[in-house]
Amino acid sequence: MGKSKTKIYNSYDSNILEALFVKYGVSKYYIRQSINGSVKGITPDCIKKDYETMEKANKDLVINLIQKTLK
């Protein structure tokens, strides 16, 4: 047999997925597909944009909390 390759799965922030689920009213599976780029359209583009915005805000919040606790 040849080289064994394993598939690398993306993990998404469950809190952000829940927020997008509430906002858009679509399944979490559809949200993950939208973020991944498997589905095309206006709504998936909006979902992907919102996910990236929320993820950046979440990372910024964590960095600020770390800096405050280190002082």
Show Cβ contacts of residue 57 under 8 Å, excluding neighbours closer than 6 positions. none
CB contact at 8 A, 39 and 30: yes
pTM of model > 0.75: yes
Give 4-62 pLDDT, tens digit per residue. 778 777 899 999 999 999 999 999 999 999 999 999 999 999 999 999 999 999 999 99
| pLDDT given at position 2 | 58
**Integer Cα distance of 17 and 41 in angstroms:** 19
